[in-house]
Structure 1
Amino acid sequence: MSGEIPALDGVLSADECLLTAKAIASVQQESGALPWFPGGHTDPWDHIQSAMGLTAAGFTTEAEAAYDWCRRAQRADGSWAAKYVGEDVVDASTDANFCAYVATGVWHHWTVTGDRAFVDRMWPVVRRAIGAVLPLQAPGGEIRWKREPSGAVRSEILLTGNASMHLSLRCAVALAELVGELEPEWELAAARLRHALDEHPERFADKSRYSMDWYYPILGGALAPDVAEARLTSRWDDFVVPGLGIRCVADQPWVTGAETCELVLALDAVGRRDDALEQLAAMQHLRHTDGSYWTGYVYPDAERWPVEQTAWTAATVILATDALSRTTPGSGLFRGEGLAAGALAAALEGTCSCPATR
């Protein structure tokens, strides 16, 4: 363990943050994999999210074991399976967002630790992962959901996944610059994806019931402040439940911790600190005595549901606390700090020669 521990007065103390990191580390398997909970499955995206929480709390040894799992489990084409139980693959499909997120995790670990040997070890993993993702990008810039084991491509375009991949591509570009291997095609891919997110909402599957599609395009600091602010205001009352957090789905009485903390990160990205603090404090009713966090709460029934304490929920609490407390050098990740917009992105501004439909 190393470094200062994220904490916020009246919300989460340093000791409580440490206990939460210990709860995440307690689920780590000998392989380094971080499943959802003991005995649960591992998916590459949530595995990386959990590793990022460990890094932010100073558990660098455990975090690096998680990244070593990524290195060993990566398939020859640069991808990972979508779902593992222990060492067994139970869903062999390639989820583009799951694969791209390793770039976000590696960049975050570098910004927090400054460990160049870690970057050098993980750079080939990131390069291969982005190489597996970009063939799924459509001509208009959006990235298709997944590739089945048969090779068939699932053409559904997910807004949240694409917004996450935009951040991952920016992190991948930053890593390429760090190691001196410029990848202009990655920068162009990120610019084209940003264009699709900003200008072509019709290309994305309608998942507007879900809060993730509301706030996720704000993460990473890509949207202009006025656009991001208008987006948050437009659906605030649909999702925010005062004193409890936010709904995962607009029409269901179910608040979830990870989504609430991701909203905290989005609010922080646009400078709404007071609202962010309020939401982070509101979701603390999901905290368990061992430092872990329940996934969600059905408030009319006053019941935890599902009955599980997920490592990635706990990790997102740590990341949100770090973002608001400005504790680690990686606290600005979701504000887009240290990630250049890029010359190619600027060159595309105000231009659109895309077809009306994909």
Structure 2
Amino acid sequence: MLTAEQADRTVAAIAAIQRPDGAIPWFDGGHLDPWDHVEAAMALDAGDEHERAEAAYRWLADHQNPDGSWYAAYSYAEGHDGEPTNRARETNFCAYIAVGIWHHYLATGDDTFLEHMWPVIHSAVEFVLELRLPGGEIAWKRDDDGTYPPEALLTGSSSIYQALRCALAIAEHREDPQPDWELATGSLGHAVQYHPERFLDKDRYSMDWYYPVLGGALRGPAAKQRIEASWDRFVVPGLGVRCVLPNPWVTGGESAELALALWAMGESDRAVQILADIQHLRSDEDGMYWTGYVFDDDAVWPRERTSWTAAALLLAVAALGGDEATTAVFGGERLPVGLAPDAAGCCQA
């Protein structure tokens, strides 16, 4: 897939996008969203750029809202210096810091920084759990006026499930039990596993297909069954993974995330093939990756090379290569699972 030199070049290209304040926008002059910012920071850690990753997390600490959230988008266009441009607060964006910080700790062993970030993580998780719905799923956003639609996204809730498990791992490491988080994690995992009707119908999007696996809610035969059921709908042999049906558009980020999900369910050979298929998106100019390719028109679109596309690919490569921090947060074997509701509606370990 990648030589060590090629991987290093991609890491360096992400680092070149990072601003002096630690922010990692989508591209130079683009906007930042907190989820993709964390993904890029994780890729920096996987590439041994630990100081840069720490700077990215300090950016989050410096920009956290009083309620524990972050806004959905911040502008780094010319003349802007991180001003919010979308004041909605998306729950999966806010939760993902727990995945990033646990990954950073596992990569560095830096207990001091983990302690420094604990109040940030705690506040973010509390914000997210304020938007729990009766079935355990998490409403996908809170608007600037404080209201939120009572609607949940399967992709977002699957990502939050992974984040809550990482938050519980941090709490356990600190010997600071969080029983409410355990209940919320178990209920959310149960909803993702057994109650698709509780989520908005986004079946056209490949992320809804593989994210229950990538987020760790599905493993074993259930994961295998889900992936096989829609493989032919979304995978374009030799090119990658469609973002949304029926569009003839494959995207690097979704393809790399599917590769991570395949690795997590024990199918490394197929993961390697998916990553090999999307190397046509790699730019010889800087080692970054184009966001997507419209195969009916033989055209790269949009004309942007995004930090998060490169980051997802680097994390998939790191997992396949056995990087300890990356395998821990995406494999999930040692992450807490919370307390799942039993058939009677009570809770069990």
* TM-score, structure 2 as length reference: 0.95
Aligned to 2:317: 321
Equivalent residue for 2:290, pick from 284, 288, 294: 294
Structure 2 partner of 1:236: 231
Aligned with residue 260 of structure 1, among 236, 255, 274: 255
Are the counterparts in 2 of residues 110 and 116 from structure 1 also a CA contact under 8 Å?
A: yes
Instruction: Identify the residue that residue 141 of structure 1 maps to in structure 2.
Output: 136
Matches within 5 A, 1:13-162: 13-85=3-75, 86-162=81-157
Q: Give the CA deviation at 1:223.
A: 1.6
**Cα offset, 1:181, TM superposition:** 1.3
- Please give the alpha-carbon distance, in whole angstroms, between the structure 1 residues aligned to 2:245 and 2:263: 22
Give 3-state SS (helix, strand or coil) of 1:17's partner.
Answer: helix
Selected match of 1:341 from 332, 337, 340: 337
Could you report, residue by residue, the CA deviation over 1:31-85 in whole angstroms, capped at 9, with x for unpaired residues?
Answer: 1111000110001001001101111111111111000000000011111111101
Contact 1:254–1:298 (CA under 8 A) maintained in structure 2: yes
- Secondary structure at 2:31 match in 1: coil
Contact kept? 1:37, 1:311, Cα under 8 Å: yes
- Residue 112 of structure 2 aligns to a residue in which SS? helix
Q: Measure how far apart 1:328 and its partner are.
A: 3.6
For 1:102-157, what per-residue CA distance to the aligned partner results, in whole angstroms no more than 9, with x for missing partners?
00110111111111111111111100000111010012101001111111112221
One-letter identity of the residue aligned with 2:36: D
1:186 is aligned, of 181, 188, 203, to 181
Q: Distance in 2 between matches of 1:42 and 1:304?
A: 22
Match of 1:198 in 2: 193
C-alpha distance in structure 2 between counterparts of 1:196 and 1:74, whole Å: 29
Match of 2:305 in 1: 309
Q: Secondary structure at the match of 1:297?
A: strand
**Structure 2, unaligned stretches of length 5 or more?**
76-80
Query: Can you give the 5+ residue segments of structure 1 that lack an aligned partner in the other structure?
Result: 1-10, 354-358
RCO (CA 8 Å, sep 6+): is it higher in 1 or 2? 1
> How far apart, in 1, do the equivalents of 2:237 and 2:73 lie?
35
Q: CA deviation at 1:331?
A: 2.5
Assess if the C-alpha contact under 8 Å between 1:261 and 1:317 holds in 2. Answer: yes
One-letter identity of the residue aligned with 1:271: G
CA contact (8 A) 1:287 1:293 kept: yes
SS in 2 for 1:136: coil
Distance in 2, Cα, partners of 1:291 & 1:118: 31
3-state DSSP class of the match of 2:130?
A: helix
Secondary structure of the structure 1 residue equivalent to 2:247: coil
Inter-partner Cα distance in structure 2 for 1:176 and 1:280: 34
Distance 1:302 1:351, change over 3 A: farther
Q: Secondary structure at the match of 1:331?
A: helix
Give aligned-pair identity as a percent: 51
- 1:351 deviates by 4.3
Matched length? 340
Question: Equivalent residue for 2:78?
Answer: none
CA spacing shift, 1:273–1:351, aligned 2, 3 Å: farther
CA deviation profile, 1:169-211 (whole Å, cap 9, x unmatched): 0000111111121101101101011111122111111100000
Q: Does the Cα contact within 8 Å between 1:220 and 1:335 map onto a contact in 2? A: no
Determine the structure 2 residue equivalent to 1:246.
Answer: 241
Query: 1:5 matched to which residue of 2?
Result: none
2: CA distance, partners of 1:40 / 1:168:
26
Structure 2 partner of 1:277: 272
* Aligned: 1:167 with 2:162: yes
Contact 1:220–1:333 (8 Å) recurs in 2: no
